[in-house]
A and B are shown apart, each in its own frame.
Chain A
Amino acid sequence: MANRRYAFFPGCFLPVRLPHIENVARKVLPNVDVELVDVKGFTCCPEPVGFGIHDKLTWTSVAARNISVAEEQGLDIMTLCNGCSYTLKQANKALKDDSELRDKVNQVIDDTGHQFKGSVNVRHFMEVFKEDIGEKKLQEAVKKPLDGLKVATHTGCHIMSPREVMNFDNVYNPTVLDKMVEVLGATPVDYDLKILCCGWTLMNYGPPEASYNLLGDKFRSMKAGGADCCTVICPQCFYQFDMGQVMASRRTNPGFNMPVLFYLQLLGLSMGYTLEDMQYNMHRVKDKGLEEKIRGR
């Protein structure tokens, strides 16, 4: 089967703060015939919560320039981040739908030598798995199923809303990630606070105590559901559940001890990679029970 080629859009958070997850992506994705093409010139998407709100024209123009960089290569964009997908998909749709906006933005980015044409799509890697690769192909790559592993899934907010643009999963009952966990042989657990946000902005802009309370409730709910670990598909959610958990656990005794794995790490483990290959040593939250279940297969 020929490789599916995508312009790899690393974004900011992943390459700067979680390079080990980028390492995992580059290791694992070729095994499902996904070729990540490195394209020179991508910048911050730009980040939707901070940069995006101040100046929609600048936000849209920077996003348009990024999309045009991929257009020049004739490749769809693949992101590993809910936030990058949120920005680039919204901009792509708005610019494709509104010719007046497209002309205005093309005038803004004219000096950069790029022009938005509207010829490519923006895809989160989980969309690529769901729509391009398919469960069957993923299943074929599984060599050491994650039998007996119970996983709490956290899809995150920005890949699902606004739903008319993102069109990914049901905001109130997300099931895509659960199905993808099942494909690997693991069991997704049901838990009460499945759709509760990771609390990213409370950690950054609000009193951190509020964020610790949210994380505490979220992890207790995952534990009550019987989870050995949780899985995410967004770098910010990962950071909040890993590093944020360390911060939140300092105020509780005992801590929550809920390890988080990026979905691509779970996929890699099911392919036969070791925990070390999947950069588990870089995690702040580790759990012996999880390690034994993974190594004991």
Chain B
Amino acid sequence: MILQISYETCEEILKRYPKIETCLKCSLCSFKDGYGCYISNYGIGVDGAKFSDLDTYTYNVFGQQEPTKNPNLWLCVSCHRCHEICPYDVNPNEVVEALKAAAFETGHAPELIQGEIRNVLSTSYAFPIAQSQQTQRAKLGLPPLDKTGVDDLVKIARKTGLENRLAALEKKEGGN
């Protein structure tokens, strides 16, 4: 069992993803040349962590006392290679995504992520829109960027609670 995190969090995660317990630390998830997790082979942790066959990205993500505060969570691109190659069907990707979701709830997601969500809800695009992009599109004979769905996105975010969550995070940041 590779989890070394505090008892309460560990129990909570194990309850949701019991397959974690079948991990034998075989390191196949870090297999080189694209067969396994490319972060394990090329990634340098945001906190300076070095990944290797003996200390893979998966172990780094699972082996934290406070897993949702681990900045390296956000390196995962959800390519599913760790899951594809795992002989025990552990699916680390699923756990990483759950930890990212929990990190967002507690305000530990990078600013870039919150910014992206706000962009989507205000423009319907994940990136900021500049006039120069509209001009370039016009020069290329392309229709202007369509923002007609924005109102619907706001309605959805209101209903799922995402809007309130963003407001609460903003308030928390403002208070710090």
Contacts and interface: CB of A to CB of B under 8 A. Distances in A.
Interface string B135-176: 011001111011011101101110110100100000000000
Interface in A72-105: none
Interface string A195-210: 1110111101111011
A61 interface: yes
Nearest to B110: A205
B120 A51 contact: yes
B120 A205 contact: no
Contacts of A206: 39, 43-46, 75
Given A12-B127, A44-B120, A161 B80 contact: yes
B142 A205 contact: no
Is the contact region of chain A dominated by helix, strand, or loop, or is it mixed?
helix
Contacts of A43: 120, 124-125, 149-150, 152-153
B112 interface: yes
A177 to B, nearest CB: 15
B23 interface: no
A295 B140 CA distance: 23
A210 B76 CA distance: 13
B109 A51 contact: no
A54 B126 contact: no
A196 B77 contact: no
Contacts of B14: none
B156 A62 contact: yes
B122 to A, nearest CB: 11
A interface bracket (residues with beta carbon within 8 Å of B)? 35 or more
**From B45, B124, B149, residue with most partner A Cβ within 10 Å:** B149
Contacts of B156: 58, 61-62, 65, 108-109, 112
A56 B129 contact: no
A259 B97 CA distance: 34
Given A53-B100, A157-B77, A26 B152 contact: no
B interface bracket (residues with beta carbon within 8 Å of A)? 35 or more
Contact of B104 (A48, A55, A69, A114): A55
A50 interface: yes
Interface string A1-33: 000000000001101110110110010000000
B44 to A, nearest CB: 5
A26 B39 contact: no
B51 to A, nearest CB: 10
B126 A12 contact: yes
B152 A65 contact: yes
Contacts of B146: 40-42
Nearest to A26: B142
B124 A108 contact: no
B62 interface: no
A158 B77 CA distance: 9
B162 to A, nearest CB: 5
Interface of A: 12-13, 15-17, 19-20, 22-23, 26, 38, 40-44, 46-58, 61-62, 65, 69, 107-109, 111-114, 157-158, 161-163, 171-172, 192-197, 199-202, 204-207, 209-211, 213-214, 217, 279
Given A23-B141, A107-B159, A205-B110, 13 more contacts: A23-B140, A48-B78, A49-B77, A51-B117, A54-B113, A58-B156, A65-B149, A111-B159, A163-B84, A172-B84, A192-B33, A196-B38, A210-B42
24 contacts: A15-B145, A16-B125, A19-B136, A22-B140, A40-B146, A50-B112, A51-B126, A52-B97, A54-B100, A54-B113, A55-B104, A55-B162, A61-B156, A62-B120, A65-B156, A108-B160, A161-B81, A171-B81, A194-B34, A197-B38, A197-B77, A199-B42, A205-B75, A210-B43
